[in-house]
A and B are shown apart, each in its own frame.
Chain A
Amino acid sequence: MAETQNHILNEVTQGEYKYGFVTDIETETIAKGLNEDVVRKISELKGEPEFMLEFRLNAYRKWLQMEMPEWAHLKIPPIDYQDIIYYAAPKKKAQLDSLDEVDPELLNTFNKLGIPLEEQKLLSGVAVDAVMDSVSVKTTFKETLAEKGIIFCSFSDAVKEHPDLVKKYLGMSVPYDDNYFAALNSAVFSDGSFIYIPKGVRCPMELSTYFRINAAKTGQFERTLIIADDESYVSYLEGCTAPMRDENQLHAAVVEIIALEHAEVKYSTVQNWYPGDKAGRGGIYNFVTKRGLCKGESSKISWTQVETGSAITWKYPSCVLMGENSVGEFYSVAVTNNYQQADTGTKMIHIGKNTRSRIVSKGISAGFSDNSYRGLVKVIPRAENSRNFSQCDSLLLGDKCGAHTFPYIEVGNKSSIVEHEATTSKIGEDQIFYCNQRGISTEDAVAMIISGYVREVINQLPMEFAVEAQKLLQISLEGSVG
């Protein structure tokens, strides 16, 4: 029986990456390498105001003084930062006003990926901002949203049209000198999405950005800034894919969320960057800084992530709970297969009184992969009556993979309660036996057990995404359960 199980696990974990095609589209790039001129050039190409250039230069100078951190449970081959193209954009014909003007190749790309860029697909009810090689190519539903006062546009447009908002909030949650990769991103980021939800507005649809790396030898550095003003609500989705290449590509993004009083932001990611082939060649290095600031009283930020792609994933979507009664949530499924590596988790920093946080992390490792959960729960002395619960489970689907848990808990006052629990195990033979006995084939049983295992997290995803995520999980694990 063990053999059938292995066989099925192999089937389940050896699915092919579906999004590995390359789009033949003219791309505007600048020369390889990084120096102050490159930073200036990027800023100039984007026609940015002075404060943005200053922000970039400060970040670049800081970055030069920093060293790449080495504490993660990851084996990262050295990265040559001079061998990366820091700016790549699909060549623009002119300002785009309607969808007809978008390059049909580009539309094709996003259609292949199943992203409803065309507005007739109103049914899907999701407003999409598509980002290819770090430049936003098209944002849908802009006008509908504008009626409510919601700003959903590319970062470059935001810099031009809403400089005050950008100036006020850029770097508030993730300062330019926060860490090595955030500093790099702050210096060279090319585009991203910008969202502002005005006071008292409940965003009527899910907002979504679709990220695509297309050009070779480039790094993708996008930056997302979400601001939810008092008593507003928004649910935001993010998806990503990249072509299959033998070289590794760096993706160092920054996501900043700021939630003001009574505001709620729900951020969902389905990360499916190219993970490299079965021998571990190629794939994306996904080194991302994501942080939400619960600035206002009773604000709430919730991160949900399904991580199936990338050769190396290294990120910790975090919540800084400043406002009293604010709430932070983190739901994660991280799947690693073949030679993938992941060191991911979250930080919950309790600063305000009565703040609450919840962490649910489910790791699945297969093949020769290494999957780590690393998290910090910190309660400062004045964060009275804070509450945290963390649950981190790992499922091992092969005897050559690893699952690791590194939680850090720091509590500085007596009225807070912090709980953490973690388990590591494989799919039990008894569980499979139970299913077999009831006429369920081993294959279905394994799929069922995995889907049950991740359910708590998948349930947090918006409907369309949940279906997508389920499928993705099956593909990622195809051929590896046992």
Chain B
Amino acid sequence: MKETVATQNYTAVEDITGLYQSNTELFLEGSPDFMNDVRGKALDDFVRQGIPSTKDENYKYTDLRPVFEGDFNVFPSYVDQEIDFLSLFKCDVPKLDTFVILTVNGWYYQRNRNLDLPEGVIIGSLAQAAREHPELVAQYYGKQVKTGKDPLAALNTLLAKDGLFIYVPDNIVIEKPLQVINLLRAKNDSFSTQRNLFIVGKNSQLKVVFCDHTLSKKKFVSNKLTEIYVQENAVFDFYNIQNQHNESANLNSTFICQKASSNIQINTASLHGGVVRNNLEVLLNGEYAEANVYGISLTDNKQHVDNYTHVDHAKPNCTSNQLFKNVLDEESTGAFAGRIHVWRDAQKTVAFQRNNNVLMSANAKIDTKPQLVIDANDVKCSHGATVGRIDTEALFYLRARGISEKEAKLLLMFAFVHEVIAQIRVKPLQERLDELVDKRFRGEISKCHKCMFDCNPKSLK
């Protein structure tokens, strides 16, 4: 069996479609019908939309065409790596006991250990779950993904083979967070596709932490899509720590559908990575549901981070909060596009959105477009966006107390982003992220305590 297929410099859409068409059996192999049946439409949708560029209103500030330039390896099947990551690799969070799961180049790592889980809970490979529980997976797979409207989602659906599958039945609370370490490691420039599907049953609770890392100095493009279903009264936390090297492109699409009285928190921290695009769509599809969506990005060099969120209030009495903060240094660029859409008759909606940005250098740039689309009248909706610099009075205050300018600036920047980190509902993780952010600002290497690997993005540059 061929393990990888190499593309021929697919600067154009034809190269991707050509790759798919000439290796169709490889992409269909091992996947059930419900995954394969949607590939045809996904292909059409992708061809029609092409690679997102600034002409596309949703990608107005992020041109992905340069990202797709070059030759890449793609992984239509699982490639075993010669190293045992589990024994060596540990993105540990001090004082926090977690379940640890690895994915490699978009695939569920087959040497993952069995987890000691409550009965009925499934955490494992999507490909495997699709084979073993086809009805369960088919019921949810792709149901939220509008391939016709989003080229990245179409591309993911076209090439999706594996990823992480989580199923938590009703009435189960998993206290211990699940830490998922997404690794990219290859000998050549690579394009990986990861497809995740999470289902959190009624009255259940789940916390997932994603850590994205690159382990080799190759150019990586990862196109990750995560579909999440949060049922009635369920509570779901999703923390993303993005720490890939600056030659990589981290493309994420997350779709969340919430039922009545459910509660979610998403918190994304973009620390390193060349081009980062986070698409997030939340559908509040039951009354009294609450969504809290937060994000920070700290950029320097020529990094580009673009957060795109879309919160749909489809039912009355729901609440949503969005808070995104960016600190941009050197020649980095950032973008934020957030939309709150209150559907007709979704009365008593409370929706807030805030985006604050600090530009640290003369060459940094930020583009932001917070949007409100309101079709119901009994609502409280507001948004705010600011772009500014470090408050000179605050700086003076600290300087007057004998704190050096550099340290004072660091303190102020740290305080600026801490507002977002403080929202994290797992205390040790909050502390760990504070530490990562502090080190990130100082440009220091942040190595996890027990880890044998050097996944530091800076050293991989």
Identify the A interface with B (CB < 8 A). 71, 73, 379, 381, 394, 396-426
Contacts and interface: CB of A to CB of B under 8 A. Distances in A.
Interface string B333-373: 00000000000110100000000010111111111111111
A411 B355 CA distance: 13
Contact of A426 (B368, B378, B386): B378
A404 B371 contact: yes
A396 B385 contact: no
Contact of A413 (B359, B369, B377): B359
14 contacts: A71-B57, A73-B373, A398-B377, A404-B371, A405-B372, A407-B371, A408-B369, A409-B368, A409-B387, A415-B389, A417-B389, A420-B370, A423-B381, A424-B379
A285 B142 CA distance: 42
Given A381-B363, A396-B374, A414-B389, A405 B383 contact: yes
Contacts of B357: 411
Nearest to A388: B387
A416 B358 CA distance: 10
A249 to B, nearest CB: 28
A401 B377 contact: yes
Contact of A408 (B362, B367, B376): B367
- Tell me what chain B mostly uses at the interface: helix, strand, loop, or mixed: strand
Query: Which 10 residue pairs across A and B have the least CB separation, nearest first?
Result: A396-B377, A414-B359, A421-B384, A405-B372, A423-B382, A411-B387, A418-B387, A424-B381, A402-B375, A420-B385
A399 B375 CA distance: 8
Contact of A397 (B345, B359, B377): B377
Contacts of B373: 73, 402, 404
Contacts of A397: 377
A414 B361 contact: yes
B381 A425 contact: yes
Contacts of A418: 385-388
B372 A403 contact: yes
A404 B369 CA distance: 13
Central interface residue in A401, A409, A412, A414, by most chain B CB within 10 Å: A414
B380 interface: yes
Contact of B345 (A71, A398, A399, A422): A399
Contacts of A404: 371-374
Contact of B374 (A403, A408, A421): A403
Contacts of A419: 384-388
A411 B374 contact: no
Contacts of A409: 366-369, 385, 387
A366 B170 CA distance: 44
A137 B365 CA distance: 51
B149 to A, nearest CB: 16
B346 to A, nearest CB: 10
A411 B365 contact: yes
B359 A411 contact: yes
Nearest to A389: B386
Contacts of A414: 359-362, 364, 389
Contacts of B375: 401-402
A420 B374 contact: no
A399 B389 contact: no
A404 B372 CA distance: 5
Contacts of A379: 387
Interface in B164-213: none
B249 to A, nearest CB: 22
A342 to B, nearest CB: 14
Nearest to A377: B387
Contacts of B369: 406-409
Contacts of B387: 379, 409, 411, 416-419
Nearest to B385: A420
A423 B345 CA distance: 19
Contacts of A73: 373
A351 B344 CA distance: 41
Central interface residue in B367, B374, B377, B380, by most chain A CB within 10 Å: B377
B255 to A, nearest CB: 23
Contacts of A423: 380-382
